[in-house]
Amino acid sequence: MQPLHILGASGHAKVIVALAHALGHPIAALYDDRIREGDLPAVLGHSVETPVAGLPDTPQTSAVIGIGSNAVRRTLADRFRRVHWEALIHPTAWVAPDAEIGPGSVIMAGAVVQPGARIGAHVIVNTLASVDHDCVLEDYVHVAPGCHLAGNVHLGEGVFAGVGAVFTPGNQVGAWSTIGAGATVISSFPAGITAVGVPARIRTT
Q: Who's near 27: CB < 8 A, 6+ residues apart? A: 3, 4, 6, 17, 20, 46
Nearest alpha-carbon partner for 160 in 173, 141, 147 = 141
Active site residue 133: yes
Q: Read out DSSP for the chain?
A: -PPEEEE--SHHHHHHHHHHHHHTPPEEEEE-GGGGGSPPPPBTTB-EEE-GGGS--STT-EEEE----HHHHHHHHHH--SSEEPPEE-TT-EE-TT-EE-TT-EE-TT-EE-TT-EE-TT-EE-TT-EE-TT-EE-TT-EE-TT-EE-TT-EE-TT-EE-TT-EE-TT-EE-TT-EE-TT-EE-S-B-TT-EEETTTTEE---
Catalytic residue among 21, 25, 122, 133: 133
Count other Cβ atoms within 10 Å, centred on residue 11: 12
Q: Which residues are catalytic?
A: 133
